[in-house]
Structure 1
Amino acid sequence: MWLVSQPNSVILEVKVEPNAIGQDCLEKVCEKLEIGVEADYFGLRVSPGSGPGRWLNLRNPLDPHRIPGGRLDLRVKFWVPPHLLINEATRHQFYLHAKLDLIEGRLVVADLEVARKIIAYIAQAETGDCERELPPTHIYEECDKIGPQGERPEDHVDKIIEYHCQIAGMRASQAEYRLLKEISELESFGEELFFCKPVTINNNAHNLYSHLLYHRQQAEEPRARDEQEIDGGATVGCLTSGQSGGGCGCRLSTCVGVGPHGIVVYRPACNGEQEIGVEKQSIAYTAIHRAQPFRRNFQMSFVTDEGNEATLHIKMATSGQAAALYRAVTEKHAFYYCETVRTAVTEQFTRDLKGTIASIFNDSTTLGRRYVFDIRRTCREVYDRARRAAHAQQHSAAPHDSRTRRRTASGSEHKESRSRSHSGGCRAEALACRVCMDEPIDTLFLPCRHVVCCENCAPRCNRCPLCRSEIEKLMHIFLPCDYPKSPGLVK
C-alpha cells in the first residue's frame, strides 16, 4: 500500500504488485484523477524528514526501504503554459500545485498588482463571486505571502476585493486558467532549484527570489569566465534591516536553477560593506556541449555568448544532489527541446554489486539494473497524444445516425440493415484521413511508407503523424476498395 498526497493534502491509497515499478503507481494515481493521457507532466516525489526531496525514478522498482512510510507526493514535474493542457482535470492539478508553490514561496511575484490579481483568481476559484459586505478574508490571509514582502499599502486588501468583484460570474475553471496564464509569464516559472548548501529556513527558494527582487537595481552583469569553479561551501547573506546599511535579511548559498529554457546560476554576493545583489548567469540548452556528475561535483562545458568554450564546475552538498542536477538538466532538455527522446537517454542505467557480477557472465541480464532517467515522451509528443485522445473521445461520443436507421417491417431486413451500417461505418473510419477525418487516405509518406493522410492534408505535414520521422517525398496511391462515406462516422 502506497500513500500518494496531492497538492491540496488529499491522500490517495494505491495498491500495486510487490515488484511493481514507479510508473505503475503513477498510472493508477492518474487514472483515479482522470489525467492519464497527460500523466507525463507529473511525477512522484519523495519528501524525507530532513533535506531536500527527490524525484522518484518511475522506471525502477518501488523500494520501500528508500521511501519513508511509503508516502509519495504527486507533483508537476514539467511545467507548460495552460493552453497546451487539453484536459480540464490536468489544468486543475496544475492549479493546485501552482497555488501551493505561490503560498510556500517557490514562485515569487515581483509586481504587486499581478499578485493582487492572482489572489483574486484564487478566491474566485475557491469561493465564487465576492460579496463586498462579506469578502473571503480567510483566502486573502492564506495568500498573504504572494507578492513582494514587506510593508503593504493600506488599500492592499481593498484592491484585491475590487479585482475579485470585477471577475464576478467567472467559472472556477476559468479562474484557474487565468491564474496559470499569469504565473506562466513569471521569471521563475517551471524552474527547479539546486542549492550547493543544504536547504534551510534561510537558504531556500523564497529567500532567493526575494533577494533578487530586493537587489534588482544593484545586480551586476555576469563576469566573463573561461574556467569557472564554484564551491558552495559558504553562504553569503545581506544585513538584516535592523543593522546599518539595510539588507533583505537572507543568507543564501550559490544555487543552480534548471528551467524550461536553460540553466541559471545564482551567485549571492552581498556583505556588510557593499551590496551587489546576485550575479546571475543564464546558459541556454542549445549552448551546452556536455554535462556529467562526478561525486559531489557537477561539470558542464558550454559556449558563451562571445563564441568561446567555457567549463562550469559546481560543488554540491552531496553526491546525490550532483546526480539529481545532472538528471534534471538531461530530462528537461529532452522534454522541452527534443522532437523525441533518444535511446542514449532511455537506455542509460547503472548496476549494483550483484548486477555487476552477473553482467560478467551475461551482459544482457537485467539483474540489479537501475535506470538513470525515466522520461518517456517530449512536450510535443505529450501534447499530440493528448489531442488525439481527446479527438477520439469526442468522435466516439458523437451520435451515430447510421446506427439508428428506420425499422423495417421484417426482422431479417432490420438485422441486415444494422450489419450493413456497422460494416460500412467501420470501413469508413478505417479509411478516413487521420488529420481531417473527412477525405479518404490516398497519400504515401516516404521513406517511412505510412499511409494516414489525404492529398490535402499530407503537404501540411513536415513529419509523419505516426512515427514522427522526416517526410522526404509524397506519393499518391489508389486503394483497392472504395471509400464509403458514412455521415455517422465521417463528417
Structure 2
Amino acid sequence: MWLISQPNSVILQVKAEPNAIGQECLEKVCEKLEIGAEADYFGLRVCQGSGPGRWLNLRNPLDPHRTPGGRLDLRVKFWVPPHLLINEPTRHQFYLHAKLDLTEGRLVVADLEVARRIIAYIAQAETGDCDPDVPPIHIYQECEKIGPQGEKPEDHINKIIEYHCEIAGMRASQAEYRLLKEISNLESFGEELFFCKPVTQTNNAHNLYSHLLYHTQKVEETRARDEQEIDGGATVGCLATGQNGGGCGCRLSTCVGVGPHGIVVYRPACNGEQDIGVEKQSIKYTVINRAQPLRRIFQLSYVTAEGHEATLNVKMATSGQAAALYRAVTEKHAFYCCETVRSDVTEQFIRDLKGTIASIFNDATTLGRRYVFDIRSTCRELHDRARREHHARHAHEPRAARRDHAGNVRKESRSRSRSGGDTLACRVCMDSAMDTLFLPCRHVVCCQECAPRCERCPLCRCEIEKLMHIYLPVEYQKSPGVIVK
C-alpha cells in the first residue's frame, strides 16, 4: 500500500503489485483525480524529511526500501501556462501546487501589486465574494510570504480587499485560472533549483529569489567562462544578522536552475558590504552541445555568444545530485523544446551489480536494468493527445445532457435547433451558446467554458480584464429563416 499526498494535505491510498512500476501508481492516482488524460504533467516525489526530495523514476519498479514509510508526494513536474491545460480538474491541481509553492516561498513574486492580485484570487477561489465588513483575514495572513518580504505598507490589507471586491462574482475555477496566468509570467515559473550544498533554512529557493530581489545590482556574463569549474562546497552570503548594515540575511551556495527555456547558474557574490553584485549566468537549450554527470561533477558543453565552445563544471555535494541535475536538464529540454522524445533518451539505462555481471554473459538481459529517464511525451504531444481525448469523450455524449466542469447539466441552446442556430454558437468550440461578455471591449464570441482560456479578445485583440455572464434574447427568433444579429 502506497500513500500519495496531495498539496492540499489529502492523502490517497494506492494498492500496487510488488513488481509494479511507478507509472502504474501514478496512473491510479490520476484516475481517482480525473486527470488521467494529462497525467504526464505530474510526477511522484520522494521526500527525505529535511531538504528537497527526488523525483521517482516511473519506469522503474517501486522500491519500498528507498521510500520511507511508502509515502510519496504528487507534484507538478512540468509547468505550462493555463491555456494549454484542457481539463478543469488538471487546472485545479495546478492551482493547488501553485498555491503551495507561493505560500511556502518556493515561488517568489517581485511586484507587490501582482502579489496583491494573486492573494485576492486565492481568497476568491477559497471563500468566494468578499464581504468588506468581514473580509477573510485568515486567507490574507496565510499568504503573507507572497510578494516582497519586509515591512508592508499600511494600506496593504486594504489594497487586497479592494482587489477582492473588484472580482466579485468570479467563479472559483476562473479565479484559479487567473492565478495560474499571473504566475506563468514570473521569471522563475517552472524552474527547478539544484543547490550545490544541502538545503537548509538559509540555503533555499525563497532566500535565493529574495536575495536577487534585494540587490539591485545584477551582473550577468561578467567574465570569460571557458573551462571553468564551480565548486559548490563553499557558501557565500550577506550579513547573517539580517538586513541591518547592508546585508539581506541570506547565506547561499551556488545553485543551478533548470527551467523551460534553459538553465541558469546563480552565484551570489555577497560580502556583507553595501555595494553587492549577483552573478547570474543563463544558458539556453539551443546552445548546449552535451551534458553528462561525472561522479559529483555535472559537466555541460555549450556555445558562447561569440561562437566559442565552453565547458561548465558544477561540483555538487553528492553524485546523486549531479545525476538528478543531468536528468532534469535532459527531460525538461525534451519536454519543452522537442517535437518528440528521441529513442536515445527513452532507451538509456544503467545496471546494478547483478545486472552488470549477467550482461557479461548475455548483453541483452534485462536483469538489474534501471532506466535513467521516465519522460514519455513532449509538451506538444501531450497537449494534442489530451485535446483529442477531450473531444472524443464529449462527442459521444448526448447534446441535451452534456455536463460542464462543475458537473451541472448544460441544456442545449434553443438557437441551435433552428436553421440559423450556429449563428449564436461559441466561436471557439462551435458547440455551446455564446453567453460571456468580454470587458472592456464588450464583444460576445465565447461560451463560459472557453472564455477563461482567452487572454485577448478573438475579434479586436484587446486585453481581457473581466468576464461577465449574459443572457441573449433568442426567444424572439420566430421563423427559421430569420437570423438574429
The answer to whether the Cα contact below 8 Å between 2:238 and 2:270 also exists between their aligned partners in 1 is yes
Name the counterpart of 1:300. Answer: 300
Name the counterpart of 1:414. Answer: none
Once residues 210 and 244 of structure 2 are traced to their aligned partners in structure 1, the CA distance between those partners, rounded to angstroms, is 20
The answer to whether the Cα contact below 8 Å between 2:246 and 2:274 also exists between their aligned partners in 1 is no
The alpha carbon displacement at 1:221 in A equals 4.9
Once residues 364 and 242 of structure 1 are traced to their aligned partners in structure 2, the CA distance between those partners, rounded to angstroms, is 59
Name the counterpart of 2:376. Answer: 376
Give the 3-state SS of the residue equivalent to 1:300 in structure 2. strand
Name the counterpart of 1:403. Answer: none
Once residues 48 and 102 of structure 1 are traced to their aligned partners in structure 2, the CA distance between those partners, rounded to angstroms, is 21
Q: Which amino acid aligns with 1:122?
A: I
> What pairs up with 1:98-117 in 2 under 5 angstroms?
98-117=98-117
Give the 3-state SS of the residue equivalent to 1:278 in structure 2. strand
Q: Which amino acid aligns with 1:140?
A: Y
Name the counterpart of 1:256. Answer: 256
Matched, 1:174 2:174: yes
Name the counterpart of 2:96. Answer: 96
Name the counterpart of 1:135. Answer: 135
Q: Which amino acid aligns with 1:59?
A: R
Q: Which amino acid aligns with 2:372?
A: V
Once residues 131 and 248 of structure 2 are traced to their aligned partners in structure 1, the CA distance between those partners, rounded to angstroms, is 37
The answer to whether the Cα contact below 8 Å between 1:220 and 1:277 also exists between their aligned partners in 2 is no
Name the counterpart of 2:349. Answer: 349
Listed as ranges, the gaps of 5+ residues in structure 2 are 401-429, 431-485
Give the 3-state SS of the residue equivalent to 2:186 in structure 1. coil
The answer to whether the Cα contact below 8 Å between 1:240 and 1:246 also exists between their aligned partners in 2 is no
C-alpha change, 1:17 and 1:218, in structure 2 (3 Å) is closer
Name the counterpart of 1:339. Answer: 339
Once residues 2 and 8 of structure 1 are traced to their aligned partners in structure 2, the CA distance between those partners, rounded to angstroms, is 18
Matched, 1:82 2:82: yes
Give the 3-state SS of the residue equivalent to 1:224 in structure 2. coil
Name the counterpart of 2:239. Answer: 239
C-alpha change, 1:335 and 1:58, in structure 2 (3 Å) is same
Name the counterpart of 1:461. Answer: none
> What pairs up with 1:454-465 in 2 under 5 angstroms?
none
Once residues 292 and 185 of structure 2 are traced to their aligned partners in structure 1, the CA distance between those partners, rounded to angstroms, is 31
C-alpha change, 1:242 and 1:16, in structure 2 (3 Å) is closer
> What pairs up with 1:209-288 in 2 under 5 angstroms?
209-219=209-219, 221-240=221-240, 245-273=245-273, 275-288=275-288
Identity among equivalent pairs (%): 84
Q: Which amino acid aligns with 1:391?
A: H
The answer to whether the Cα contact below 8 Å between 1:107 and 1:206 also exists between their aligned partners in 2 is yes
Q: Please, what TM-score do these two structures have when normalized by structure 1?
A: 0.80
Name the counterpart of 1:472. Answer: none
Give the 3-state SS of the residue equivalent to 1:57 in structure 2. coil
Aligned residues: 404
C-alpha change, 1:219 and 1:62, in structure 2 (3 Å) is same
Name the counterpart of 1:63. Answer: 63
Name the counterpart of 2:386. Answer: 386
The answer to whether the Cα contact below 8 Å between 2:191 and 2:258 also exists between their aligned partners in 1 is yes
The alpha carbon displacement at 1:276 in A equals 2.4
The alpha carbon displacement at 1:220 in A equals 5.4
The alpha carbon displacement at 1:398 in A equals 3.5
The answer to whether the Cα contact below 8 Å between 2:7 and 2:96 also exists between their aligned partners in 1 is yes
1:11-57: per-residue Cα shift (whole Å, max 9, x none)? 00000111000000000000000000000000000001233200000
The alpha carbon displacement at 1:222 in A equals 3.0
C-alpha change, 1:178 and 1:123, in structure 2 (3 Å) is same
C-alpha change, 1:292 and 1:220, in structure 2 (3 Å) is closer
Once residues 355 and 227 of structure 2 are traced to their aligned partners in structure 1, the CA distance between those partners, rounded to angstroms, is 38
Name the counterpart of 2:201. Answer: 201
1:80-112: per-residue Cα shift (whole Å, max 9, x none)? 000000000000000000000001111000000
> What pairs up with 1:154-165 in 2 under 5 angstroms?
154-165=154-165
Deviates more, 1:131-140 or 1:351-360: 351-360
Give the 3-state SS of the residue equivalent to 2:246 in structure 1. coil
Matched, 1:123 2:123: yes
Q: Which amino acid aligns with 1:337?
A: C
Once residues 378 and 151 of structure 2 are traced to their aligned partners in structure 1, the CA distance between those partners, rounded to angstroms, is 43
C-alpha change, 1:269 and 1:285, in structure 2 (3 Å) is same
Q: Which amino acid aligns with 2:397?
A: A
The answer to whether the Cα contact below 8 Å between 2:218 and 2:279 also exists between their aligned partners in 1 is no
Task: Please give the root-mean-square deviation of Cα atoms over the aligned residues, in Å.
Answer: 1.8
Name the counterpart of 1:428. Answer: none
Give the 3-state SS of the residue equivalent to 1:108 in structure 2. coil
C-alpha change, 1:150 and 1:241, in structure 2 (3 Å) is farther
Give the 3-state SS of the residue equivalent to 2:396 in structure 1. helix
Q: Which amino acid aligns with 1:130?
A: C
Q: Please, what TM-score do these two structures have when normalized by structure 2?
A: 0.81
Once residues 125 and 51 of structure 2 are traced to their aligned partners in structure 1, the CA distance between those partners, rounded to angstroms, is 33
Give the 3-state SS of the residue equivalent to 2:229 in structure 1. strand
Give the 3-state SS of the residue equivalent to 1:397 in structure 2. coil
Q: Which amino acid aligns with 2:156?
A: H
Name the counterpart of 2:437. Answer: none
The alpha carbon displacement at 1:359 in A equals 1.4
The alpha carbon displacement at 1:242 in A equals 5.8
The answer to whether the Cα contact below 8 Å between 1:358 and 1:365 also exists between their aligned partners in 2 is yes
* Structure index of larger Rg: 1
C-alpha change, 1:65 and 1:244, in structure 2 (3 Å) is closer
Once residues 187 and 264 of structure 2 are traced to their aligned partners in structure 1, the CA distance between those partners, rounded to angstroms, is 11
The alpha carbon displacement at 1:399 in A equals 4.2
Give the 3-state SS of the residue equivalent to 2:276 in structure 1. strand
Name the counterpart of 2:37. Answer: 37
Deviates more, 1:155-164 or 1:269-278: 269-278
Once residues 218 and 25 of structure 1 are traced to their aligned partners in structure 2, the CA distance between those partners, rounded to angstroms, is 44
C-alpha change, 1:136 and 1:358, in structure 2 (3 Å) is same
Q: Which amino acid aligns with 2:149?
A: Q
The alpha carbon displacement at 1:240 in A equals 4.6
Q: Which amino acid aligns with 1:143?
A: C
Give the 3-state SS of the residue equivalent to 2:257 in structure 1. strand
The alpha carbon displacement at 1:363 in A equals 1.6
The answer to whether the Cα contact below 8 Å between 2:217 and 2:276 also exists between their aligned partners in 1 is no
Name the counterpart of 2:442. Answer: none
Once residues 263 and 308 of structure 2 are traced to their aligned partners in structure 1, the CA distance between those partners, rounded to angstroms, is 18
Give the 3-state SS of the residue equivalent to 1:280 in structure 2. strand
The alpha carbon displacement at 1:245 in A equals 3.5
Once residues 288 and 364 of structure 2 are traced to their aligned partners in structure 1, the CA distance between those partners, rounded to angstroms, is 32
1:106-135: per-residue Cα shift (whole Å, max 9, x none)? 100000000000000000000000000000
